């Protein structure tokens, strides 16, 4: 077994870090109980639609057709959220959010879960089942960020520390 180390960048994948994965119905229930939904998709993806009440902290930024690591992901998360906050992480289908959840767990965030299926769903790999995402299930979606929930607003918290 590999020794766990603190993740220095969002691209550092701590494979041994156990993260609970949940499906969109459980995420919806947890949000009703006060959990915070953090959408780790890029800003353009977030503005195309996201779960109501979601915060946006991109794990990766869209640069043309490519996704590149957000070097400020950890810093913004630490400034915007307490390490005891109850956080649900979601992305497009569940890949980025799982890596982001592993990163946060390695940083000492205590209550982090990953929403498998993400916003649009996971088509599944051969031999595994597809998972419907948040939007295809008809759950509440908006294109507007609530006050204080956009990436630019959350990023500003890093300069006010």
Q: Which of 14, 38, 91, 131 is an active site residue?
A: 91
Q: Please indicate whether residue 8 is annotated as part of the active site.
A: no
CA distance 9 to 3: 17
d(CA 101, CA 14): 10
CB atoms within 10 A of CB 92: 19
C-beta of residue 7 within 8 angstroms of C-beta of residue 108: no
Residue located via tokens 């800003």: 43
Token pair belonging to 31: 């949000």
- Distance between alpha carbon 29 and the CA centroid of its chain, in Å? 17
The answer to whether 53 and 31 have CB atoms below 8 angstroms apart is yes
CB atoms within 10 A of CB 4: 12
For residue 60, what is the enclosing H or E element? Answer: strand 60-63
The set of catalytic residues is 91
């Amino acid at each position: 077994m590999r020794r766990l180390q603190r993740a220095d960048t969002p691209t550092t994948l701590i494979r041994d870090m156990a993260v609970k994965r949940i499906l969109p119905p459980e995420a919806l229930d947890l949000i009703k109980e006060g959990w915070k939904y953090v959408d780790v998709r890029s800003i353009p993806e977030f503005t195309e639609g996201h779960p109501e009440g979601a915060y946006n902290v991109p794990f990766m930024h869209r640069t043309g057709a490519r996704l590149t690591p957000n070097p400020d992901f950890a810093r913004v998360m630490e400034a915007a959220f307490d390490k005891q906050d109850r956080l649900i992480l979601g992305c497009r289908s569940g890949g980025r959010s799982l890596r982001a959840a592993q990163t946060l767990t390695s940083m000492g965030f205590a209550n982090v879960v990953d929403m498998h299926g993400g916003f649009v769903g996971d088509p599944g790999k051969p031999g595994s089942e597809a998972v419907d995402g948040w939007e295809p299930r008809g759950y509440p979606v908006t294109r507007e960020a609530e006050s204080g929930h956009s990436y630019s607003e959350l990023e500003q918290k890093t300069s006010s520390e």
